[in-house]
Amino acid sequence: MQSHDTQDVNTLSVIGLGYIGLPTAAMFASTGLDTVGVDVSRRAVDAINCGKAHIEEGNLDELVERCVQTGHLRAVMKPVAADAFIIAVPTPVGKDEGHSPDVSYIQAAGLAIAAVLKRGDLIILESTSPVGTTGMLAELLAQARPDLSFPQTAGEQADVCLAYCPERIIPGQMLRELVENDRIIGGMTPRCAERAATLYKRFVRGVCHITTDRTAEMVKLTENSFRDVNIAFANELSMICDDLDIDVWKVIEFANRHPRVSILKPGAGVGGHCIAVDPWFIVSSSPERARMIRTAREVNDLKPHHVVAKVDAALTANPEATVACLGLTYKPDVDDFRESPSLEIASILSRKYAGRVVSCDPFFTALPDDEARDRAITFVETEKALQEADVIVVLVPHSAFHGFPKPQNKVVVDPVGFWV
């Protein structure tokens, strides 16, 4: 009888086909592994089965088409049996004061795959999660499938292996970074980690670093919290310089000439599904200790309101002025509006100054029409906005804006340093 240690993974199921799940599923399928993607969105499932990616990401469309044509990738709406499962579903934070992590999507995914689990299966959680979530998932599965054993009770002899392997890729370069970046693979036991590493090595050229599930969970949160703290320094510095009427861009340029100083660029805030969310997971786990991490989050959440205040001042000086907001996604050259501070700024201004605010973004079609209506956002062509608006607010420096010179005889609010 074949042992669990050498058991091959011949079929893979990826639960969640969003910005992480779909590229991951396509990469595994490209190696010849029979891969089934699972998502609750009929639109996503239908698009993938037609050989199209439902998100904008480099050459992902071509990769999906090729994998569907070879028969190695398909999508369904309910889990089916497989040898390995990768869970890549959202883990948002609540709107409560403590920004409590919401792991309900992980729990739902776990319960969904519980019915099709069998002895020898491997489960890998990729969703960014609070420390202890992999263990929580194992407990949930143990309750749902008492006929199977899991690592928390059976250790290395468990029927089902569980591991945590966080994604660490950036939109716009996902396919390249999936292959080249190192991976941190935390198993509930050493065998769990080794089995997960063997699976990822089908396409990962970076080093697969083996550790425990709780350590791997903390590594992911640490990476994004470190970045958030450093961005908060830049954003706070920019607001201080505004108060003192000093050019923050010159301050940063000169300060960075020190051999041991490397200040990041300030912006309109912090957005996306990682940096704007993950630090709260650490804060929720250790609220009394995580004082700097909490403060950094609060500073970065304050920056959009600082930008709005600057626009308010310009409109107070010219009560009839119109406004154009350039760039609403959470970062340049991606179609992702999740947690976007620029989208929030445009929403606040559009509601506050109804009929006087327009927005421009090359990826505007990725924002659902109903959400744009709810936020009172009106999109227009960039050239028209730059010609007709009195106040220009640059929020995201998309490449599509680079051909336009800085408007003359207009008020320019530029928290990203686009026309510095």
Return the active site residues.
Answer: 220, 274
**Nearby residues of 188 by Cβ (< 8 Å), 6 or more positions away:** 134, 135, 138, 151, 152, 158, 161, 162, 163, 212, 213
Q: CA 241, CA 236: separation in Å to the nearest integer? A: 9
Phi, psi of 225 (to 5 degrees): -70, -40
- Which residues in 292-302 are b (16+ Cβ under 10 Å) and which e? ebbebbebbbe
Sheet holding 323-326, edge to edge: 357-360, 323-326, 391-394, 411-413
DSSP letter, residue 211: E
Question: Which is it for strands 183-187 and 161-164: parallel, antiparallel or unpaired?
Answer: antiparallel
Q: CA 341, CA 330: separation in Å to the nearest integer? A: 7
Q: Residue 403: is it exposed, middle or buried by C-beta count within 10 angstroms (0-12/13-18/19+)?
A: exposed
**Nearby residues of 39 by Cβ (< 8 Å), 6 or more positions away:** 16, 17, 18, 21, 45, 75, 77
CA dihedral 281, 282, 284, 286 (to 10 degrees): 160
Phi, psi of 194 (to 5 degrees): -65, -40
Contact present, 75 and 39 (Cβ < 8 Å): yes
Contact present, 231 and 264 (Cβ < 8 Å): yes
Name the one residue in this structure whose structure tokens are 């009560």: 319
Q: If you count DSSP H runs as helices and E runs as strands, how many of each does the chain have, helices first?
A: 15, 12
